[in-house]
Amino acid sequence: MSVGEIVVGLLILVGGFLSMAAGIGIVRFPDVLTRLHAATKPQVLGLAVVLAAIIVQVPTWGVLTTAILVMTFQLLTQPMTAHMLGRAAYRSDHVRRDLLIEDDLGRDIAAHDQTDH
């Protein structure tokens, strides 16, 4: 067993652990916003670690560019998806507002409603 294979194995284990932590967080966390945090942060980092393992295992330009494209699209879409889900949950009263430190969206919605009337 070479050093590269050990590194790849460790990276796959770390990526798997992060993805598992994301799944557990989605099931166990109490409200929508904390579940969104669990769904985005460790999942994206887990994917990055697994892609790094793939690049270490197969260090070719094709694999590198594909991994960069996959990670780029993930980083472009994941925050927007979480943002839209969070806004939808807030507007449909699925967010525990008593846990919010500062309610910027509520203030903006109230200001918008006042200007419409």
**Span 62-94, pLDDT tens digits:** 999 999 999 999 999 998 988 899 888 888 888
Could you tell me which of 17, 21, 68 has the C-alpha nearest to residue 40? Answer: 21
Q: Please, which pLDDT band fits residue 14 given cuts at 50, 70 and 90? A: very high
Q: Does residue 99 carry a pLDDT above 80?
A: no
pLDDT of residue 34: 86
Does residue 92 sit in helix, strand or coil? coil
Across residues 49-72, what is the average pLDDT? Answer: 96
Is 1.10.3470 the CATH classification of the domain at 3-116?
no
pLDDT of residue 30: 85
Measure the CA dihedral 106/108/110/112, to 10°: -150
Kindly state the average pLDDT of the residues 85-111: 82
What's the pLDDT at 117? 65
Distance set, CA 70 to CA 18, 21, 50, 66, 76 (Å): 18, 21, 11, 6, 10
Is the pLDDT at 15 greater than 90? The verdict is yes
Helices (H), the chain: 3-28, 32-57, 61-91, 104-116
* Residue extents of the structural domains in the chain: 3-116
C-alpha 70: how far from chain center: 14
The two structure tokens encoding residue 81: 């998806």
What is the mean predicted confidence (pLDDT) over 41-49? 91
How far is CA 49 from its chain centroid? 13
